[in-house]
Amino acid sequence: MPTLPPTPVPWEETLDGTLGVELLEWTPDMARGRVAVRDALKQPYGLVHGGVFCSIAESIASIATAAAVYDDGMIATGMSNDTSFIRPVTDGYVNTEARCRHRGRTTWVWELDHTDDQGRLCAISRVTMAVRPRPEGA
């Protein structure tokens, strides 16, 4: 896996740390992560909040893109996140697998499947990343 570039905010203090997102694997082609379900990730009716699926998708696509383009002097920032919710999750893990669909000079596009611990599809995301030259000094 490409090395993760150093960052100003330590990982455990970011949103990923707040939510407990675990990044398990990342390459320019695919990436995987998961998050353990608990009340702090739910909406008031006891289901995992839709924003959690969006967040884990955004994190996985961002890290995989950023790691892949870093050695070329580029950074990656999110442009859009389209997530459809298919089945509620109430316990276990949200398991997310990302497939890279496009690696362009200025944009990368990922599609992500979110499944529960029984392997059932619970949400799908499409994340578009902008790839830009790294600012001087960054």
Residues contributing to the site for a second copy (CB under 8 A)? 7-11, 13-19, 39-47, 49-52, 54-59, 62, 75, 77-88, 101-102, 104, 106-107, 109, 111, 121, 124, 126, 128, 130, 132
Taking the complex as a whole, the smallest distance from the CB of residue 121 to a second copy amounts, in Å, to: 6
Active-site annotation holds for 97: no
DSSP 44-108: TTSSBPHHHHHHHHHHHHHHHHHHHHGGGTEEEEEEEEEEEE-S---SSEEEEEEEEEEE-SSEE
Shorter beta-carbon distance to a second copy: residue 24 or 121:
121
Taking the complex as a whole, the smallest distance from the CB of residue 102 to a second copy amounts, in Å, to: 5
Q: From residue 87, give the alpha-carbon distance in Å to each of 6, 79, 116.
A: 36, 26, 9
Question: Distance between terminal CA atoms of the chain?
Answer: 22
Shorter beta-carbon distance to a second copy: residue 18 or 25:
18
Taking the complex as a whole, the smallest distance from the CB of residue 82 to a second copy amounts, in Å, to: 5
* Catalytic residue, candidates 12, 25, 58, 136: 58
Could you tell me the two tokens for 65?
């893109």
- Catalytic residues, by residue number, are 58
